[in-house]
Chain A
Amino acid sequence: AQSVAQPEDQVNVAEGNPLTVKCTYSVSGNPYLFWYVQYPNRGLQFLLKYITGDNLVKGSYGFEAEFNKSQTSFHLKKPSALVSDSALYFCAVRDWEGSYIPTFGRGTSLIVHP
């Protein structure tokens, strides 16, 4: 079985400050991990993924995420937040040997204040 937890429903950060959106996961085997972003009234857009290799993954729009196997976490980060980063962020996981269907977290609303 696979599951994802996003412990924060909402994250508030000031523009220019670093941001972190948290994600922890549970899988039977090894994980494939993904982050997606959703702007209002739009579909989800892929940001980045971890498959194997370097624990620090760089993605679109200056976002990056760090895979930590011992803590089963995959937190999304950005060094300097922009107001335009305000959106809903979803973490998702697939087990290496599981089905093709990812399990999504409930989403975290990121609000960046000017």
Chain B
Amino acid sequence: KAGVTQTPRYLIKTRGQQVTLSCSPISGHRSVSWYQQTPGQGLQFLFEYFSETQRNKGNFPGRFSGRQFSNSRSEMNVSTLELGDSALYLCASSETTNTGELFFGEGSRLTVL
């Protein structure tokens, strides 16, 4: 099986712009989660989607949004970028059980100038 695929891998934006990141989960996985990773804050949960519905949401401002499509692919969007949004954004997919581990993509590294 192919792993979790995230695009783009690297991107540079300027303050005030918006960005869209894409994630294709492992085939058959219906849950997709997004995390922000920074050196200072570690791994912070953004949101989780299951069957096109946001099932869980972390403590991030409304500038961060996401969606999931019928084929389980997911996108996240950050509007009005701030310098502090520079981070590695990780997508993870999992089977629909509480015991299942997460399968992470390689991440999208966003730099905001």
Contacts and interface: CB of A to CB of B under 8 A. Distances in A.
B105 A43 contact: yes
A46 B100 CA distance: 10
Contact of B106 (A43, A100, A106, A107): A43
B33 A101 contact: yes
A46 B101 contact: yes
Contacts of B99: 32, 49, 51
A106 B43 CA distance: 7
B42 A96 contact: no
A104 B42 contact: yes
Contacts of B109: 41
Contact of A43 (B42, B50, B90): B90
By size class, the interface of chain B is: 20 to 34
A101 B42 CA distance: 16
A34 B107 CA distance: 20
Nearest to A90: B43
A32 B55 CA distance: 20
Interface residues of A, number: 23
B45 A101 contact: yes
Q: Which of B50, B56, B102, B104 neighbours the largest number of chain A CB atoms within 10 Å of its CB?
A: B102
B26 interface: no
A15 to B, nearest CB: 26
B101 A100 contact: no
Given A43-B90, A104-B43, A99 B56 contact: yes
Interface string A79-114: 000000000001000101001111111110000000
B90 A100 contact: no
A75 B10 CA distance: 34
Given A100-B55, A101-B56, A44 B98 contact: no
B43 A100 contact: no
B104 A44 contact: yes
A105 B44 CA distance: 10
B59 to A, nearest CB: 12
A43 B104 contact: yes
7 contacts: A42-B107, A43-B107, A44-B90, A100-B98, A101-B33, A103-B45, A104-B43
